[in-house]
Amino acid sequence: METSKTEYLGGYRTQATHLLSSQTIITDAPLDNNGKGEAFSPTDLVATALSSCMLTIMDMTAVTHNFSLERAAVKTTKIMASNPRRIAEIIIDFDLTGSNYTSKQKTILENAAKHCPVAKSIHTDIKVVTHFHY
């Protein structure tokens, strides 16, 4: 089954539609690459997909171990390289200060984050740095 349909809208902008849900995402080229920076860039989505995947897998794993991932948030920073232009580094800062996790639960969450499907799909040339703040 197809996942999405992407249409070029002009002006370095696209609209992607998730075919199962009909939800849409607009992308725009970033300011530093001739775009307007008015929406996620495609490389922003790669970095954001990583943090979203990590949070999702952390929650699934927490449920499996009979605790919950509450009031969690994550900030994602993408750093670009040139020659060739590509993602060089993704920095992920988890804010898990809303709950009192045990030492064992922290280990479970951190291991889950590092083993999400997107993390396993990121090329080894991309440096991924994760910080967990409890």
Rounded Cα distance, 66 and 109, in Å = 12
Sole residue written with tokens 């951190």: 110
Write down the pLDDT at residue 70.
86
Write down the pLDDT at residue 59.
97
What pTM was computed for the model?
0.93
Provide the CATH topology of domain 42-133: GMP Synthetase; Chain A, domain 3 (3.30.300)
Per residue in 22-44, pLDDT (tens digit) is 999 999 999 999 999 999 999 99
Domain boundaries, the chain: 4-33, 42-133
User: What phi and psi values does residue 117 have, to the nearest 5 degrees?
Assistant: -60, -35
- Please say whether the beta carbons of 56 and 65 come within 8 A: no
Per residue in 47-105, pLDDT (tens digit) is 999 999 999 999 999 999 999 998 899 999 999 999 999 999 999 999 999 899 999 99
Write down the pLDDT at residue 90.
98
Cα–Cα distances (Å) from 19 to 10, 23, 28, in that order, read 22, 8, 20
User: What phi and psi values does residue 24 have, to the nearest 5 degrees?
Assistant: -120, 155
